[in-house]
Amino acid sequence: MKNYSKLLTIGTLITISLFITACGSGVSQEQYNALNTEKENLQSDYDKLKNDYEKIKVDYTSLLDEKAESILDDAPLQYATAWAKTSYGENVECSSSADSLNVLVHTDISVTSENVTDIINKFISSMKYYKIAYETTPDNLNFKFISVNYLDLDDNAFLSLTIVKTDDTFELNKILVDATQTDTIISGLSSNN
């Protein structure tokens, strides 16, 4: 039994020394330091990328807000242009300021009293559509003055009609005519009554 105890003691010592050797042969201090440096570098890269992402996110949000504001600022002119093209066809140009809408209607007609009568009738009809559109979206068509300027074949203005909005009513404010066409235009206006 003594031999057995000796063998057991020797076996235990061998097992313990193998265990200690196995534990000691893990990662060297040099490898540990290298891995730790790599981890710190990766953490630094991650932090930089995260900061860059946050900056880009703020810039993107700012640009998105600016674009949305620009679209909202352009909405009244877009609505007015849609109304003008619906009323007068594609051959129109619209511009606006804070409270005024200016519409240029390029006609393909010569100035005759009959054509002026047709223009006035179309103008009255278009203003009825404008009023309906205004009642539907008052914030998008909130112009105080609406001028519709008619241009002849040579792009000379021969008739300008200006509507003024007071409260929620629209009234004809002024009629401007080309002095050389006064008789023809007045004849067309008179026959419209």
pLDDT digits 0-9 by tens, 82-92: 999 999 999 99
158 close to 150: Cβ distance less than 8 angstroms: yes
Q: Using the predicted structure, report yes or no on whether residue 7 has a pLDDT greater than 80.
A: no
- Whether the pTM exceeds 0.75: the reply is no
Q: What is the pLDDT of residues 107-122, one digit of tens each?
A: 888 788 888 888 888 8
d(CA 179, CA 146): 22
pLDDT at residue 19 tops 90:
no
- The DSSP element (H or E) to which 37 belongs, if any, is helix 29-88
**Lowest pLDDT segment from 19-23, 57-61, 142-146, 166-170:** 19-23
Average confidence (pLDDT) over 98-107? 90
- pLDDT at position 22, please? 55
From the candidate CATH numbers 3.10.310, 3.40.50, 2.30.30, 2.60.120, the one assigned to the domain spanning 76-190:
3.10.310
Helices 113-136 and 182-190 sit at what angle, rounded to 10 degrees? 60
Nearest 10 degrees: Cα torsion 133, 135, 169, 182: 0
Beta strands in 120-192 (DSSP E): 145-151, 157-166, 169-177
State the virtual CA torsion across 166, 189, 124, 169 in degrees, nearest 10.
10
Residue 124 CA: distances (Å) to CA of 14, 39, 116, 169: 111, 77, 12, 14
